Chains A and B, each alone.
Chain A
Amino acid sequence: MRHVYLDHQAATPLLPEAFEAMKPFFTEWFGNPSSLHEHGLRVREALKRSREQMAALIHAGSPDEIFFTSDGTESANLAIKGVAYANERRGKHLVVCATEHPSVINSVEFLEKQGWTCTRVGVDAEGRLRLHELKEAITPQTVLVAVHHVNHDIGTIQPVAEVGRICSDKGVPLYVDCEASAGWLPIDVEAWGAALVSFSPHRFYGPKGVGVLYRNKKARLVSIIHGGVQEGGRRAGTENVPAIVGAGVAAEVARMDLDARIAHTRELQARLWDGLEKHVGFIKLNGPRPGPDRISTNLNISTEFIEGEGQLLLCDLNGIAVASGSSCVSKSLKISHVLAAIGLDHALAQGNIIMTLGRDTSVEDVDYVVQTFVRIVEKLRGMSPMWDEFQRGIIDSVIRPTGRGKSFSQHAADVSGKPAH
């Protein structure tokens, strides 16, 4: 059986050259970078090199503006809480996009319980931030604007440069979450005028266990983890040296390969979506069409009349690894908040699958996925009462309405006695 990994948004395999670079730092060069002897100074040098590689990837002015954390979630927590606490006396208002990652949304909710207020700026049907709403949301009390570069769910590229201009006009620091874009799209923190930027190397063939936070020298930030004075006093705790070294190599390779990665995944993205759209009826792409407004690695699709977890399981049984934003795959039994924010019909959110391509994905892989997915949809529709009821005109399609029958949501409410959330 062919194995096709299409969950690069969750994790990527470590680059062999990154792995090689990491090895000596487990055994030979095991020192603590805070130590003042030879062992410490050697690894301190390695951290410096990695900081330079990170700075080059995102076009930061200085490697001193790079801080290492444990992962993207910690970086987001530090960015949001660290800026909020540092500017507490100036104001207690934050502005975020409604479709931020949970590490941002939940950090903001934590602050709201402590007296901060937050305005969540809405998005259009393709997930694009409403710039005029963002502009209006900023008040004299606003101490931070947080906007992601690329949406983790639906691949929408946000107008970050425009957001940066609005923020610098208003004198409010901007935090850009680049978790879904670093290593796959050019990032220029200086051109954006971003005060903070975070990303995770394990999304671009680096190791897990390390996150990066860029902080412009002018931005005020206090530590949220207390202890020693590692990372310029912004993040206490011994650095994960081997991971940081491997991450640096991954960042350097990503910078060199960026154009080739974009070209390769862009071609496969178009082939995959064209194949699915042509061969699977009643399927919808969520987010912008493949092109300048969408990251080249992501496809987020909704297949009507069937549920997402069943699709995910059958993909897995056929060697295809994918993700889903359906309520059935979430422990909270709620559909992805991103799909809710773009106003996707609940029935379509239920049938959601997310496929993310990588540098090793091939044309053969993509063709196998299309062929296999067609069979999976057929099998699940054969089991679905909704498909049958659509055929008989009892319920209608959301994607291609026929004008016959009631909506799926109405039907679901009728048979469950309550409206779907």
Chain B
Amino acid sequence: MSETYTLYNSTVMDHFMHPRNMGDLKDADGVGEVGAAACGDIMKISLKIKDGKIEDARFKTFGCGSAIASSSMATELIKGRSIDEAMNFTNQEVVDALGGLPPVKIHCSVLAEEALKAALEDYIRKHPETASKLQTPVPAAA
């Protein structure tokens, strides 16, 4: 294999080969696990939240290269964000930060968004007092 001939661009390949924030968080404040019905991939994101801010994030993914890269990038992007900011996170941010994904792989970035939101919802369920302070309405529990 040559560097020129890879299935994905160099950013995606880098996040696939050297995933950031891979693993679980001990005593996570919120955990979300979602699956893609379309392909069967499964993604899990764990969050550490302090004073309304995402202090740390970890992921584990059962899926293809772009699913692993998407979850790696999503956890990078959301660290340091407030719960409100994170609730407005979209998959497009992941796609842009990765320098684009093949059209058939966009759903991998959607899965990362869903996993993040599932983790946030888990946190809000456990800390109902935070819900009232949010500007973004909390979606119905998945």
State whether the Cβ of B42 lies closer than 8 Å to any Cβ in chain A: yes
State whether the Cβ of B140 lies closer than 8 Å to any Cβ in chain A: no
A347 to B40, CA, bound (A): 8
Tell me the count of chain A residues lying within 8 A, CB to CB, of chain B: 38
Residues in A neighbouring B41, C-beta threshold 8 A? 307, 328
A385 & B40 in contact (Cβ 8 Å cutoff): no
Q: Assuming A313-B16, A327-B40, is B142 touching A307 (CB within 8 A)?
A: no
**Which chain B residues (97-126) contact chain A, with CB distance < 8 Å?**
104, 107
State whether the Cβ of B68 lies closer than 8 Å to any Cβ in chain A: yes
State whether the Cβ of B35 lies closer than 8 Å to any Cβ in chain A: yes
| Nearest CB in chain A: distance from B64 CB, A | 4
B64 & A309 in contact (Cβ 8 Å cutoff): yes
Q: Mark B12-29, 1 if CB is under 8 A from A, else 0.
A: 000011010010100000
B37 & A307 in contact (Cβ 8 Å cutoff): no
Tell me the count of chain B residues lying within 8 A, CB to CB, of chain A: 31
| Nearest CB in chain A: distance from B115 CB, A | 9
Instruction: Kindly report which residue of chain B lies nearest to residue A414, judged by CB atoms.
Output: B35
State whether the Cβ of A272 lies closer than 8 Å to any Cβ in chain B: no
Q: A416's contact among B19, B22, B36, B65, by CB below 8 Å, is which?
A: B36
**Which chain A residues (341-356) contact chain B, with CB distance < 8 Å?**
346-347, 350
| Nearest CB in chain B: distance from A414 CB, A | 8
| Nearest CB in chain A: distance from B117 CB, A | 13
| Nearest CB in chain B: distance from A158 CB, A | 29
Q: Could you list which residues of chain B lie within 8 angstroms of chain A, going by C-beta atoms?
A: 1, 6-7, 16-17, 19, 22, 24, 33-44, 60-65, 67-68, 104, 107, 142
Give 15 CB contacts A-B under 8 Å.
Answer: A307-B40, A307-B62, A310-B68, A316-B1, A316-B6, A328-B67, A382-B22, A383-B19, A384-B62, A388-B24, A388-B60, A411-B42, A415-B34, A416-B42, A417-B142
Q: Could you list which residues of chain A lie within 8 angstroms of chain B, going by C-beta atoms?
A: 305-310, 313, 316-317, 319, 321, 326-329, 331, 333, 335, 346-347, 350, 382-386, 388, 411-421
